[in-house]
Every structure is written in structure tokens, then in C-alpha cells.
Amino acid sequence: MKIKIAPSILASDFAKFGETVELLERNGADYIHCDVMDGNFVPPITFGAQAVKAFRPHTSLPLDCHLMVTRPAARLEEFANARADIITVHVEADRENLIKNLEKIKALGVKASAVINPSTRAEELFPACEIADMVLLMSVVPGWGGQKFIPETLKKIEAVKNYCIRLGRDIDIEVDGGITEDNVKDVISAGANVIVAGSTVFRSPDMAATIARLRG
Ligand code: DX5
Ligand code: ZN
């Protein structure tokens, strides 16, 4: 599977999002990872669909929207209208309606994805593997950038990858949190192909080189 790098603009200057997404595109990013936090599912508040809509004219890259919100079902339409390309919902946010929410995202013409927290078992992602376009595994507790990668995530990536192989579904597997140039190889070997990186990309003195090296 092609390796894609999805820099998270959470680590960037919040006063310059337009310029930042342009910069990421020029420097070889594959996706723009948008961390939407509602102050409820996770303590911080970042931005919502209106901001995502404002990013759209600045880039042709896919807008990869990671919704850390308590009631994702109520938000899907507004992110589709904002021309998000991928919408990811947390399994923990609404376990009962996970499949329904993924189906709704697909019906809106957007790629559908589900995500689990580090404390959630890999098996909870299995039902999503059957219908989603992508699945995401958090390798830090969501809410903040700049945390340390949780190594136990590697086994979970393998479990999800093996399950997808058994299903015969070649879907994207994204990993988010604490990814560096040192640990990215392990993440990719475990089976992930979409790499989110916030601080690693934005703290780099040479963004293009860092993005290229993360891709391996
Ligand atoms: C955490 C976010 C991540 C975060 C990653 O809640 O979902 O996308 O920005 O940042 P780093 O790469 O710094 O861990
Ligand atoms: Zn994220």
C-alpha cells in the first residue's frame, strides 16, 4: 500500500491555517489532518466545519477530518458540506451507531473512517473494517499533540491489519500520535499506511525532507 503522510495542523500556528495548508501541499504532504475537538469528548476546543470549509480553497489535498466530538452523528452533514474528504468518528463517542454513522458518511459522498483510543481493544474496530474506507488507531490519548507514542499500539495495528487481510479488504490504516522519524518504520511494518504527524513535521527545520523521510 502506498504510504501517505497526513500532517496534523494542530501543531501549527492557529492564526495561519490558510498559509499552512498551502505550505504542507508544497512540501509533499498527502493529506491535511484536521483535529476537530469539541471540549467535551476531549477537554480542548480546536475548530469545526466552518474552519474546514475555509481551508478548502487553499489546497487540493484531501482534508482528513478526525472528529473528537461526543455526538458525531449530528456533525456529519456539516463536515460533508464543508467538503471534507475523509470523516473519522470515534468508536467511543457513539458505539451503538458506529455502523450507521459510517454508512451515513458514505451516503454523503465522503470517505468513512472509524478510530479507537489507546484504551480501546483492537477488536472494537473490526466491524468498521467491514465497511469503512479507512480505520485509525490512536497511539496517544487524544486531545493534545506532542505526546509520546504508546508502543502497545503496534500489536493493535497488526491485529487490525490481519483482520482486514482475512476480510480481503485492502483499506487504509492510519495511526495518529507521537510518530517520529525513529518509530515510523515500526508503525509501517505493523501494517499502517497513513501516518499522522504533528510535532514531527512542524518542529522540523526542513519540512519537505522530514515528510519525505517519514514516507520511508
Ligand atoms: C491528538 C491528535 C493528533 C495530534 C498528533 O488528539 O489527534 O492528530 O495532533 O500530534 P503529534 O504528532 O504531535 O503527536
Ligand atoms: Zn488526529
Q: For a substitution probing ligand 1, which of 5, 10, 187 has the most ligand atoms within 8 Å of its CB?
A: 10
β-pair partners for 172: 134
Is the model's pLDDT at 216 over the cut of 90? no
Selected catalytic residue, list 13, 170, 176, 206? 176
Architecture of domain 4-215: Alpha-Beta Barrel (3.20)
Q: Is 13 a catalytic residue?
A: no
Between CA 86 and CA 44 the distance in angstroms is 22
With b for 16 or more beta-carbon neighbours within 10 A and e for fewer, the 25-52 pattern comes to: eebbbbbbbbbbbbeebbeeebbbbeeb
User: pLDDT digits over 118-128, tens only?
Assistant: 999 999 999 99
Nearest bound ligand to the CA of residue 46 = 1
Residue 157, classed as helix, strand or coil, is helix
Q: Using CA of residue 178, residue 215, residue 200, residue 43, what is the dihedral sign?
A: negative
User: pLDDT digits over 25-48, tens only?
Assistant: 999 999 999 999 999 999 999 999
For the chain, the structural domain boundaries read 4-215
Between CA 131 and CA 122 the distance in angstroms is 16
Q: For a substitution probing ligand 1, which of 9, 113, 196 has the most ligand atoms within 8 Å of its CB?
A: 196
User: pLDDT digits over 180-215, tens only?
Assistant: 999 999 999 999 999 999 999 999 999 999 999 999
User: pLDDT digits over 119-157, tens only?
Assistant: 999 999 999 999 999 999 999 999 999 999 999 999 999
* Residue 200 pLDDT: 98
